[in-house]
Structure 1
């Protein structure tokens, strides 16, 4: 007979601590993500300097994330996550203090961006590996859906809250160093709060991993993914999907809004529709969970085929509302699939290897995002935006069909998972 924890996830004390602390921390993150670029622009007014700051934050995350997952597996996800929260607190408080003391400089902004990027490389895999030890296996997909839905909600609400702080002076046209310092300090305080909530979480013990060197542990994680045929096939397939989808949405979508629609207002509508659809898909991810787990691979490929068709249709739109409808549907499917994919990996991989497996999965997207964006920008010099969306959608559809014919992905279900409901 199912327990109260299984039937009502929100009664699970561990999950409430994780969800509440995570929500506060994710809202705080938006303050720094808005304030750091604004700091660079306030100091230089130079787009190249801004690009360097963004790269300094993103590059260490992409390069070190698998190492971060290895640390999480060796030393427990909670310990690594706690240390990353403490590190972020120190970095942000130091940055806020120096700004209040009128010690702002471009070198300081670059150093903060680099340090925050390194800390996130360890926090991200630890955060994704902790959930299976905190909630019952039967509640894992619903827990992932709620947690990701909260994150998506923070992406919608957080920038608005941050803008209120940063625009508090001079009507929002000029942001003082004091306002920027306040934004960084607020983010630091959210890390303190989320670290305290994390310390309240009681995790189930996991089997101890054999003691090896750090680099051997990292290599063992990569070897585990390579030996697991289903995992290897899915990771390779997701790399193809990331390349064909991320660039068009990041680069070609603004071009589409500029060339065919009403510019910035249309882009806001398109991005908002995609974000709302993603949130709805994440929150609806528990629907049909048992059936979906049995047909994971087939549903994955079918959903990607539908997304491919939606992308091809997006290249033909002439009004913002048509684009918003297509992107809302795209977001709905992608949000649903994100939760399902995370849950499948968490069920399939042994807890002692989960940090490395999740780090490699996220490293695929973090590493391919800039390459996809650069390729999209180069192609737009030779193709119209409509041709690019049609071509990207057609290639994604071809990849889904090829995977269905020549790989074992359509036959993947929950039967091979280590963690059963």
Structure 2
């Protein structure tokens, strides 16, 4: 794509990628996310090789998720108190050390389950401080007018890494073993962890060269709990923010759980292709998400006065799509619906993230982003459990009723004049180019 317009002015994508600080963040996090998916494939494979027990595998994953959720708001408060860059550097240094240690333990065949339990908890704690800081970093590096494009690039690159990472990790483990949990070589698993550690090192180097605005001195005497309460009060007193955070939590509960539970059941019980159908639907969802994120960066930003109505209408369409998925009769139809749902999800995520970042005062952005993450993940385990219970009765009922609730919720919220307009805040963060 030509980065120059006919008038000789740089295209917005070119301006964003020409920003040295953002480019370093984009490269570092893109590489790091790719490594994260090596870790996510290698860790359960390692547990299965050591124990052959799916319960042990679930326990390790849960031990990482629990501190991540519990400490997410603390991570947001610390991001606002110090700086996103500082927390990202410290968190990535800790995660680099943990994964490097795990690589050595696996390579030397000295790894034991108690070590994995401990490392999982520590990794979850580091994640809780990293993710709010990461999502608060982009607004410090790009102009407000370029925030939508920057988020499109960041989210799209992460989605691309999410699609490629598991495949590459599986190939690596299979090449050094035979790809089955009972006999996959420890060398392949150790190599996957080692590559993840290397990506953390790349991210650390990139972050070290990023220049961010000098943090202003603060007279804030709040402790961490008071700081978290201030963030909660800010969202509660901002009616559009409160409404949209409620929508995020509701969509997590009524869409994400049913989709993640319902799709594999449909593939297993309705579609003759079985596992191939499952993989196809997830692949079209991923491709759709990538497409939606790209479109969010390329298409003009909607008028703020109508953006809320637009995004909520798209949420309603996602609900209708989920209901249609529940009655789909073939893998092809389900895959087309998956493509549509992924596109809508990617488009909405970029615009909503950009809106929250632009609306948040600089002093609150870490807490608001941590609250956003918490609202999108806190109810997910409950949603998965309830969806699993309902699916035992009827998976069609699960998907159609959940989809109907999401569609109705989006429609009802569009009738609320408070949330139809999504004006950004007037305060903008200082940017270092």
Shared fold (TM-score, shorter chain, > 0.5): yes
Structure 1 SS opposite 2:175: coil
**Alignment check: 8 A CA contact 2:156 2:294 kept:** yes
Give the equivalent residue in structure 2 for 1:33: 40
**Alignment check: 8 A CA contact 2:267 2:274 kept:** yes
Give the equivalent residue in structure 1 for 2:385: 374
Give yes or no for the alignment of 1:155 onto 2:162. Answer: yes
Give yes or no for the alignment of 1:197 onto 2:206. Answer: yes
Please, which of 407, 413, 416 is the counterpart of residue 397 of structure 1? 407
Shift of the 15–415 alpha-carbon distance from structure 1 to 2, 3 Å rule, reads closer
- Of stretches 70-79 and 109-118 in structure 1, the one that deviates more from structure 2 is 109-118
1:3-28 superposed Cα distances (whole Å, 9 cap, x missing partner): 85856321111121111111111111
Shift of 1:294: 3.8
TM-score in terms of structure 2 length: 0.93
Give yes or no for the alignment of 1:181 onto 2:190. Answer: yes
How many correspondences in the alignment?
419
**Alignment check: 8 A CA contact 1:292 1:299 kept:** no
Instruction: Tell me, in whole angstroms, the C-alpha distance in 1 between the residues paired with 2:232 and 2:78.
Output: 14
Give yes or no for the alignment of 1:336 onto 2:343. Answer: no
Give yes or no for the alignment of 1:241 onto 2:212. Answer: no
- Of stretches 283-292 and 30-39 in structure 1, the one that deviates more from structure 2 is 283-292
Instruction: Tell me, in whole angstroms, the C-alpha distance in 2 between the residues paired with 1:417 and 1:48.
Output: 50
Instruction: Tell me, in whole angstroms, the C-alpha distance in 2 between the residues paired with 1:256 and 1:408.
Output: 39
**Alignment check: 8 A CA contact 2:69 2:128 kept:** yes
Give yes or no for the alignment of 1:74 onto 2:77. Answer: no
1:376-403 superposed Cα distances (whole Å, 9 cap, x missing partner): 0111122x22221110111111211222
Give yes or no for the alignment of 1:215 onto 2:225. Answer: yes
Instruction: Tell me, in whole angstroms, the C-alpha distance in 2 between the residues paired with 1:270 and 1:314.
Output: 10
- Of stretches 249-258 and 181-190 in structure 1, the one that deviates more from structure 2 is 181-190
- Of stretches 397-406 and 89-98 in structure 1, the one that deviates more from structure 2 is 397-406
Give the equivalent residue in structure 1 for 2:175: 168
**Alignment check: 8 A CA contact 2:259 2:399 kept:** no
Structure 2 SS opposite 1:301: helix
Once the two structures are superposed, the pairs formed by residues 327-366 of structure 1 within 5 Å of their partners are: 327-366=338-377
Please, which of 93, 96, 100 is the counterpart of residue 100 of structure 2? 93
Once the two structures are superposed, the pairs formed by residues 10-159 of structure 1 within 5 Å of their partners are: 10-159=17-166
Shift of 1:207: 4.5
Structure 2 SS opposite 1:147: helix
Shift of 1:232: 1.0
TM-score in terms of structure 1 length: 0.95
Q: CA RMSD in A?
A: 1.9
Please, which of 300, 320, 327 is the counterpart of residue 331 of structure 2? 320
Please, which of 373, 385, 390 is the counterpart of residue 395 of structure 2? 385
Structure 2 SS opposite 1:324: helix
Shift of the 279–369 alpha-carbon distance from structure 1 to 2, 3 Å rule, reads same
Give the equivalent residue in structure 1 for 2:268: 258
**Alignment check: 8 A CA contact 1:273 1:328 kept:** yes
Structure 1 SS opposite 2:372: helix
